[in-house]
Amino acid sequence: MALDTLMQQMVNGITLGGMYALIALGYTLVYGIMLMINFAHSEMFMAGAYVGLFTLTGLTNPKLVGSGTVAFLTKNGIGLVLLFTIVFLIAGVAIGLLGVIIERTAYRPLRNAPRLAPLISAIGVSIFLQNAVLLWVDSKALPFPQVFPIVNIKIFGNASISTLQIFILVSVVLILIVLDTFVSKTRIGKAMRATSQDRDAAGLMGVNINTVIALAFFIGPALGAVAGIFNGMYYGTVNWNMGFLPGIKSFTAAVIGGIGNLRGAMLGGFVLGIIESLAAGFLATGYKDVVAFVILILVLIFRPGGLLGESVVEKV
Amino acid sequence: MSDQTEAVVDTVPAAARQVSENVVLQLDKIHTFYGAIEALKGISVDVHQGEIVTLIGANGAGKSTTLKTISGLLHPKSGEIRLLGEVISEMKVHEVTAKGIIQVPEGRRIFPRMTVEENLEMGAFLRSKDVEGVKSSMAQAYDLFPRLKERRMQKGGTLSGGEQQMLAMARGLMAAPKLLMLDEPSMGLAPVIVELIFETIKTLNAQGITILLVEQNAAMALQIADRGYVLETGSVVLTGPGRDLLHNEQVRKTYLGES
Ligand SMILES: Nc1ncnc2c1ncn2[C@@H]1O[C@H](COP(=O)(O)OP(=O)(O)OP(=O)(O)O)[C@@H](O)[C@H]1O
Ligand SMILES: [Mg+2]
C-alpha cells in the first residue's frame, strides 16, 4: 500500500517536475545572462496556456478548419502529433516573441540602471499581462479541451500512469535534450554560455550581446509557454492567475539547482516536483507548498550556490 | 608634438592621407569617462602597420581604459578613433572585433566553465565560415603552448594562472587578429613564462601582426617595442622610439626603478 503510494507519487512528481523544469529554465537562462530575475516569467507560462488553448480550439473546430481536418488531427497518432506540434510551435513562437518585445521595451532601457529598477519593471509587466487577460479574455477560468482519451495504465499495484502523463514526460524529456545539446554543442549555444560567464569577454570574441540576450528572452518564454499548455491539459483549465504558484515554485527549483545553471534548473524542477508530490502523498496535500519552501531554505543554508552551483572560480 | 601632426591632418587632407598611409590605428584626442571621473584626458596615439607599440604608466594611468576604448567596451565622450581612416569609436565591441582588432584583456578573462578547447573556439567565433583556417590556428595555438594541448578538455577555471594567461593569448590569436592588443600579458607569471610570452609577441609581430602592448614590465616592453607612449593620469606625457624611452632619464627613474 505504502509502496503503491510511493510509486504513484513518484509518477505524479516527475510529471509535475517536468513542468517546473521547463519554467525554471526560463528563469535561469535570463538570470545567467542578465543577472536579473524576470518576475514576469510566470505570465509567459499563463499567456502561453491561453495561446495554446486558442490554437487548439481553433484547429479542432470543424467550422474553422473543416471536419475532415479535425478528424485527421484528432483521430489517429500521426494527426495528434502534428496537431500538438503546431500548437506548441505557435504558442512557443508567439510567447517567445512576446518575451523579446518585453525585453526591448521594459528591460533594455534600464540596462544601466540600478538593479532594482528592472525588477520593478518586471513586476509591472506581470501586472499588465494579468490585467490584459482579465480585460480582453475572461476573468473566469476557461476549460482546456481534452483532445485524446486519457487512459490509466497500471504499472505497480494500484499505481498507474496516464497517457497524458506519458505524453507530457516524453515531450519534456525531448525538449530538455534538444536544449541541452543546443547550448553545449552549437556555436550560438556556446556564445550564450560564454556570455553568461563573462559578458565583456564574450563581446571581445565578437559575440553580439544583444542577440544573445534576445535569444535568452525568446527561448525562456517559449519553454514557459509549452509548460503552460501542459499545465492546462493536466489540470483541465486555464485562468489569468495560474502563473503565480508554478512561477514561484519554478523559481525555487532554479535556485535549488543553482540559478544560472541550465542542468541545475532541470534537476531542481524534478527534485521539487517529486518532493512536493511525496509530501502530498505521505503527509497531507496541504503540506506540499510548505515542503517546497522548506527545501529552498535548506538548500540555501547548506548549499547556497544550489545543487549544481559550481564554486565561484577565483578571478584575478 | 602630436598636436602638430593633428594640425596637419586637419588642414591638409592630401598630406594627411600620405602621413596616415601606414597608420593602422589613430586615437585623436580621446576623452573617456567613468561616470564623472575623466580617465582619459585627450589622448592621441598612432599605431603603424607592423609596429609593436607599447603603453606604459603607473597603476591607474589609464592604460586599460585606452584599450577598452579602442575595443568598444567603452566609448569616448569626445575624440575619434580611426582604423585605416574609418571611424570606429561609435562601434559596438563585437563590431570592432569583426574589424580584426582583438583585445586580450587584463586579468585573462577566460571562460571559467568552458574547456580549454571551447575557449579557443570562442576566440574564433567570427571565423565560423573558415573551417580550415580555424583548424590550423588551433594547431598553431597548441604548438605555441603545448601545455594547453595537454589540458584541452579541462575547464578554463581550473588552469593555473600562467596557463590561463597562455589560454587568453591563444584565444586572442584564434581570431586571426590584424591588430592585437595585449593588456599586461606578463602579469603574475614566472620569469620563464614571461620570456615565452615576449618571444611569442615578437614572433607574432614578425608574422605581420601589429601589436599594441600594455605592460607593467616597462623594461621588457620598451626593449621589444618600436615606439612607446608614457601615460600619466590620463594623459600622454612622453612618446618616442622604444630605445629612446628606455634611455630616457625620467622613464628610467619612474618606471624602471632606477634612482
Ligand atoms: N569601472 C571603473 N569605474 C570607475 N573608475 C574606474 C573604472 N575603471 C577604472 N577606473 C579609473 O580610471 C583610471 C584608469 O584606470 P585603468 O584601469 O585604465 O588604469 P591602468 O593604467 O590600466 O592601471 P593598472 O596598471 O593598475 O592596470 C583609474 O583612476 C581608475 O581608478
Ligand atoms: Mg590596467
List the domains of chain B with CATH numbers.
1-92+183-194+213-259 (3.40.50.300), 101-176 (no CATH)
- The protein residue whose alpha carbon is closest to atom 30 in ligand 1 is B60
Q: Is the pLDDT of residue A244 over 60?
A: yes
B120 neighbors B171 (Cβ within 8 angstroms): yes
Nearest chain A Cα distance for residue B126, angstroms: 6
pLDDT tens for A149-196 read 889 999 888 899 999 999 999 999 999 999 999 999 999 999 999 999
CB contact burial A107-126 (16+ within 10 A = b; e otherwise): beebeeeeeeebbebbeebb
Q: Which residue has the cell 471536419?
A: A67
| Ligand 1 atom closest to the CA of B35, numbered from 1 | 4
Region B2-15: mean pLDDT is 38
Supply the pLDDT for residue B29: 96
B112 to A313: CB separation less than 8 angstroms, yes or no: yes
Query: Which helix (H) or strand (E) segment is A179 a member of?
Result: helix A163-185
What's the helix, strand, coil split of chain A in %, to 5? 75, 5, 20
**Chain B residues lying within 8 Å of A204, measured CB to CB:** 71, 73, 93, 97, 102-103, 105, 109
Q: What are the strands, taking DSSP E only, across A157-277?
A: 159-162, 237-238
**Chain B residues lying within 8 Å of A32, measured CB to CB:** none
Q: Is the pLDDT of residue B169 over 90?
A: yes
Looking at A9-13, A130-134, A265-269, B14-18, which range is the least confident one?
Answer: B14-18
Smallest-distance ligand from the CA of B59 = 1
Angstrom distance (rounded) from CA B50 to CA B47: 9
Q: Mind listing the domains of chain A with CATH numbers? A: 2-137+161-302 (1.10.3470)
Residue A261 has a CB neighbour count (10 Å cut-off) of 23
Query: Which helix (H) or strand (E) segment is A102 a member of?
Result: helix A77-102
Looking at A274-288, B35-49, B198-212, B222-236, which range is the least confident one?
Answer: A274-288
Chain A contact for B92 (CB, 8 A cutoff): yes
**More confident position, A261 or A286:** A261
Q: Closest residue of B to A112, CA-based?
A: B35
Q: Is the pLDDT of residue B14 over 70?
A: no
Supply the pLDDT for residue A311: 46
B107 to A194: CB separation less than 8 angstroms, yes or no: no
Angstrom distance (rounded) from CA B120 to CA B111: 10
Q: Is the pLDDT of residue B74 over 80?
A: yes
Mean pLDDT of chain A: 92
B97 to A203: CB separation less than 8 angstroms, yes or no: yes
Supply the pLDDT for residue B6: 35
> Which residue in A4, A34, A20 sits closest to A192, CA to CA?
A34
Angstrom distance (rounded) from CA B217 to CA B110: 22
pLDDT tens for A57-108 read 999 998 998 888 888 888 888 999 999 999 999 999 999 999 999 999 999 9
Inter-CA distances, A185 with A1, A239, A278, A316, B118, Å: 45, 38, 36, 28, 10
Quote the pTM value.
0.89
List, as one string, the DSSP characters of B172-205.
HHTT--SEEEEESTTTT--HHHHHHHHHHHHHHH
Angstrom distance (rounded) from CA A212 to CA A29: 10
- The protein residue whose alpha carbon is closest to atom 12 in ligand 1 is B39
Give the number of A-B residue pairs with CB atoms closer than 8 Å. Answer: 80
Per-residue pLDDT band for A306 (boundaries 50, 70, 90) equals confident
B210 neighbors B216 (Cβ within 8 angstroms): no
Chain A contact for B93 (CB, 8 A cutoff): yes
Mutation site for B-interface testing, chosen from A190, A196, A204 by largest number of B Cβ within 10 Å = A204
* Percentage of residues of chain A with pLDDT beyond 90: 75
Smallest-distance ligand from the CA of B62 = 1
Supply the pLDDT for residue B21: 60
pLDDT tens for B100-114 read 999 999 999 999 999
Which of A197, A314, A315 is nearest residue B114 as measured by Cβ atoms?
Answer: A197
Residue A213 has a CB neighbour count (10 Å cut-off) of 22
**More confident position, B162 or B48:** B48
User: What ipTM goes with this model?
Assistant: 0.89
- The protein residue whose alpha carbon is closest to atom 16 in ligand 1 is B62
Q: In terms of residues, how long is chain A?
A: 316
Per-residue pLDDT band for B259 (boundaries 50, 70, 90) equals low
Nearest chain B Cα distance for residue A84, angstroms: 35
Angstrom distance (rounded) from CA B118 to CA A205: 12
> Which residue in B167, B207, B173, B159 sits closest to B52, CA to CA?
B207
A155 neighbors A11 (Cβ within 8 angstroms): yes
Supply the pLDDT for residue A316: 30
Query: Which helix (H) or strand (E) segment is A274 a member of?
Result: helix A262-282
* Percentage of residues of chain B with pLDDT beyond 90: 78
Report the separation in Å between the CA atom of A67 and the middle of ligand 1, taken as the mean of its atom positions: 70
Q: Is the pLDDT of residue B10 over 70?
A: no
Q: Closest residue of A to B106, CA-based?
A: A316
Angstrom distance (rounded) from CA A179 to CA A192: 12
Amino acid at B158: T
Q: What are phi and psi of A223, to 5 degrees?
A: -65, -40
Q: Is the pLDDT of residue B98 over 90?
A: yes
Amino acid at B154: Q
Cell numbers at A303, concatenated: 548549499
Q: Closest residue of A to B119, CA-based?
A: A194
Supply the pLDDT for residue B13: 42
Report the separation in Å between the CA atom of A8 and the middle of ligand 2, taken as the mean of its atom positions: 60
A203 neighbors B122 (Cβ within 8 angstroms): no
Residues near ligand 1 with C-beta < 6 Å? B 34, 37, 39, 57, 59-65, 106
Region B71-94: mean pLDDT is 96
Probe target for ligand 1 pocket from B31, B33, B59, B65, with the most ligand atoms within 8 Å of CB: B65
> Which residue in A302, A240, A90, A264 sits closest to B113, CA to CA?
A264
Q: Is B46 exposed, middle or buried (0-12, 13-18, 19+ CB in 10 A)?
A: buried
